[in-house]
A and B are shown apart, each in its own frame.
Chain A
Amino acid sequence: MKSFLRENWVWIVAPIVLLAALVAVFIALTSGSGVENNTYNLG
């Protein structure tokens, strides 16, 4: 199991890093000054 993880850790970590990067870019591009429109939660 240890050697399996050692050989394939990239496949475990890469999707998490990729998703985190995508979310960070998404948040940066969809954020204004950080003042959220607080009416969305009525929907």
Chain B
Amino acid sequence: MGTSSDSKAAVGKDGARPRASWRARLLLSCGSLFAFLALGECIARLREPGPFSLFDRNPYLAGELPHQTRHRPGFEGRWDSTWYRINAQGLRGPELDWTLAGDELRVVCLGDSCTFGKGVREADCWPRQLERLLQDALPAGRRARVANLGINGGDARSAHELLVEQGLALQPDLVLYGANVNDFPNAVEAVNQKVFNEAPLKRLIPQGILDPMNRSALFRWARSVYYQSRREQDWAAAEALAAASGGTPEESPAWARQRAHVVAIRDAAEAVGAQAAVLLFPYESQIYLDAYDTSAIDRLGALCAELEVPFIDLAQVFREHFGSAGEDLFLPGDRYHPNPGGYTLVARALVRLARAEGWLDEGPGDER
């Protein structure tokens, strides 16, 4: 508590308080900025799913591709708005204590960030929701076992590699490949590339600067708010560009590679007596607009029909639900990663397919 002499000392000769020095003002500005950033970062981190953590930590193995696209076994921590809990096999989710006995319906899920579950809790990604729904649907005495082999940034090639490296050893009954519109050449993907590359500053800023910014939850939140505010005009722009792009090219080396990987996934699954199925995740614009480009869906659907592999057009599944319920199915400020409600629709669609195909009554692997 100050004395009366202290109070007098703080007051100038004319009775007014002396003005703070430039150094004091600078310190005040720096202090307030630091406090704002620290508080904002903590609040932004609390908003993200999973336990609180002060920093992002890289969950991927070091080294060259494809090594660096594999998770560190046993890793637990936050990265890019997602809480990673990686098991001993390097996969997202709990340890796989599978018995590999005949009473298990074993499912291996392949794909990218939409299968991994970027931005949602592990319990909310579609493989884990599928496991719960399958367990409810299976007859007594059978256990549903679902492994999530999804990797952020993955594609058909990495999906096939992971199936061979790890998935087949799990003796799956079902192999489900979650493809994404951005995995292969098509009009929507071309628009994505065009718009992404035309961002005026992004080309000039090295990834080494952008990456550290992406590790700030506050920056991620600010970016998502910006994206969310622009989403309707972005959908319209993307679909208009897609329509004007001339559609999906008939043949290209990139599509030939995509096709070869899907064929390889089907063949690898069949070789171990498993049934393969493919699902295609849509972009937001394909759900919320009346007219949208279907060339990517048509192309992958035609390939699956040719290969006699069941195919789920998730754009249709999402559109039907949005038309009746009207609720958002994607993460805020994101253009293609579903939210937990979106993943629930994916899991339900797969259970419907499993019922229709009779996979729940007698697992394909039972004949092995």
Interface residues, chain A, with chain B CB atoms under 8 Å away: 3-4, 7-8, 11-16, 19, 23-24, 26-43
Q: Tell me the complex Cα distance, A40–B29, Å.
A: 33
B270 on the A face (CB < 8 A): no
CA distance A34 to B20 in the complex (A): 44
Once the chains are docked, how many angstroms separate the CA of A8 from the CA of B25?
Answer: 8
- B residues near A (Cβ < 8 Å) are 17, 19-20, 25, 28-30, 32-33, 36-37, 58, 60, 68-69, 79-80, 112-113, 118, 152-153, 182, 191-192, 195-202, 205, 207, 210-211, 214, 219, 222-223, 226-227, 230-231, 234, 237-238, 283, 333-336
> Quick check: A42 and B222 within 8 Å, CB to CB?
no
Partner of B214, one of A16, A29, A40: A40
Contacts of A40 in B (CB 8 A): 207, 210-211, 214
Would B28 and A33 count as touching, CB distance under 8 A? Answer: no
Minimum CB distance partner of A23 in chain B: B222
CB pair A43 B211 closer than 8 Å: yes
Residue on B nearest A33 in the bound complex, by CB: B195
Tell me if A30 and B202 are in contact (CB < 8 A). yes
Given A41-B153, A42-B68, A42-B152, does the pair A31, B32 have CB atoms closer than 8 Å?
no
The CA of A3 and the CA of B7, in the complex, are separated in Å by 13
B199 to A, closest residue via Cβ: A32
B20 near A7 with CB under 8 A, answer yes
The one of A23, A30, A33 that contacts B191, using a Cβ cutoff of 8 Å:
A33
Shortest distance between the CB of A24 and any CB in chain B (Å): 7
